[in-house]
Amino acid sequence: MERIETDICVIGAGSGGLSVAAGAVQMGARVVLIEGAEMGGDCLNFGCVPSKALIAAAAAAQAQRGSAAFGIGAVEPVVDFGAVKDHVASVIAAIAPVDSQERFEGLGCLVIRDWGRFVSPREVEAGGRRIRARRFVIATGSRAAVPPVPGIEGVPYLTNETVFSLRERPAHLLVLGAGPIGMEMAQAHRRLGSAVTVIEAGRALGREDPEAAAVVIARLREEGVDIREGQGVVRLRAVSEGVEAVLADGAVVTGSHLLVAAGRVPVLERLDLPAAGVAFDKRGVTVGPDLRAKGNRRVFAVGDAAGGAQFTHLAGYHAGLVIRQAVLGLRARVRGDHIPRVTFTTPELAQVGPTEAEARAAHGDGISVARAAFHHNDRAQALRETEGFAKLVIRRGRVIGATVVGPEAGEVIAPLALAVSARMKVSTLAGVVLPYPTLAEVAKRAAGAHFAPALFENPRLKTFVRFVQRFLP
């Protein structure tokens, strides 16, 4: 068996692993990159990229239905579902070279296309080679969780790894789970012509601000998505029409296809972590605030494998912290209060920092909330997309959280993510000058609303202003 010695061995070529490998090798470290599946990982091949491409196609179809408000005749779009999937594939293909084996070999990485497993605290085997490294980075990502619903093993079902390969439009898509992935796919398939039923045992978009989630849920229902909240599935079985789901209230729903979107679990089982002395549980590798694995400080974990929130941009953030430590020898500690997230429905729902309810639970009456509605945003009026609002959570004069639901909320959240990350004063946000008319003005307007009572509802200030006006030349 060939033996290799290196500085850093990265296991997993998804977002986090590729970021570590690219940064480390370009700074002069020797890097071995191991990937047993597709380069680019889940995000490129089965997650963020194909889902957003599908959502864009669905939005184009919906625009034809809603064009009457702009003085343009509305029509029912003709959807070529196979061509839509060609569009999705072409978007993946356009991005793939950035994540390719050839690119990383060109940067100087040794890329091994095989599954890796630990054989000791300092060694990994993959592709008939034994790699001994100073540091290891576990970046193996996650996969769709399959809930233990009676009968699920006997029915055909889709996950994010298979739904994008469908060439024929589902007649009736059942979606098990009303989190961000389930709701995004539900709306996209409805807009592309499928009947859609979403089944959720709890509350749809249950992690999000309830007021903001209600705006999204109302739009999906308006577009014809059947959302069954508070109803778990007690039994599944295959029928001639496809899949039959029996709900807790006794209702029976039958669909042609079933999409399981009930959360994700880390992919760790091939690694033989006990051989490395690495602690882990069902949530992922057990890491400290420096992302080092408990039990073996030579091992780091990033992204979904690290047991926290599961976002591509979080994996990239983790990668930067690992590079500081494993490459530059500097200290670094992870933060979690400034990581934004977006549900890419229409309207979009974006969050950074704690929601209002979370902040009140943590700080009681020590917070205040300021808000502004998209209805009063001139760009939103021009776009005919006036549903929603921006909400700021403020503590001690600083923005600690923000919720945006409305058009392009994922873009509008950007300055608010900066505000939370930099612990910015709300006065700074209120004082920024933004171009007009833009959707981002809703964030500035919300910040201004924080000061409105003191400026416009203060009788002492009004008395002072009248006094000043008597003496101004």
Distance of CA 360 to the CA centre of its chain: 24
pLDDT band at 390 (very low <50, low <70, confident <90, very high): very high
Quick one: pLDDT at residue 426? 96
Q: pLDDT of 216-239, one tens digit each?
A: 999 999 999 999 999 999 999 999
pLDDT band at 451 (very low <50, low <70, confident <90, very high): confident
Q: pLDDT of 288-335, one tens digit each?
A: 999 999 999 999 999 999 998 899 999 999 999 999 999 999 999 999
Quick one: pLDDT at residue 466? 81
Backbone angles phi, psi at 329, to 5 degrees: 70, 20
- Is the CATH number of domain 341-456 3.30.390.30? yes
CATH 3.30.390.30 residue ranges for the chain: 341-456
pLDDT exceeds 80 at position 198: yes
Q: pLDDT of 115-143, one tens digit each?
A: 999 999 999 999 999 999 999 999 999 99
- The neighbouring-strand residues paired with 158 are 259
pLDDT band at 165 (very low <50, low <70, confident <90, very high): very high
The full DSSP string for 377-427 is -HHHHHHT----EEEEEEETTEEEEEEEEETTHHHHHHHHHHHHHTT-BHH
CATH 3.50.50.60 residue ranges for the chain: 2-39+100-143+265-326, 152-263
Distance of CA 156 to the CA centre of its chain: 26
Q: pLDDT of 2-43, one tens digit each?
A: 999 999 999 999 999 999 999 999 999 999 999 999 999 999
Residue 447 in tokens = 């910040």
Q: pLDDT of 48-92, one tens digit each?
A: 999 999 999 999 999 999 999 999 999 999 999 999 999 999 999
Superfamily in which the 2-39+100-143+265-326 domain is placed by CATH: FAD/NAD(P)-binding domain (3.50.50.60)
Average pLDDT over residues 340-357: 97
Quick one: pLDDT at residue 457? 77
- Is the CATH number of domain 152-263 3.90.550.10? no
Residue 282 in tokens = 């069902």
DSSP code for 132: E
Report the alpha-carbon distance of residue 129 to residue 117 in Å, rounded: 11
pLDDT exceeds 80 at position 396: yes
| Nearest C-alpha neighbor of 123 from the set 132, 114, 110 | 132
| Nearest C-alpha neighbor of 8 from the set 138, 107, 118 | 138
pLDDT exceeds 80 at position 394: yes
pLDDT band at 460 (very low <50, low <70, confident <90, very high): confident
- The neighbouring-strand residues paired with 112 are 34
pLDDT band at 261 (very low <50, low <70, confident <90, very high): very high
pLDDT band at 464 (very low <50, low <70, confident <90, very high): confident
Task: Give residue for tokens 């992935």.
Answer: 181
Quick one: pLDDT at residue 458? 77
Mean pLDDT, the chain, rounded, equals: 95
Quick one: pLDDT at residue 102? 96
Quick one: pLDDT at residue 1? 75
Residue 386 in tokens = 């006036």
pLDDT exceeds 80 at position 362: yes
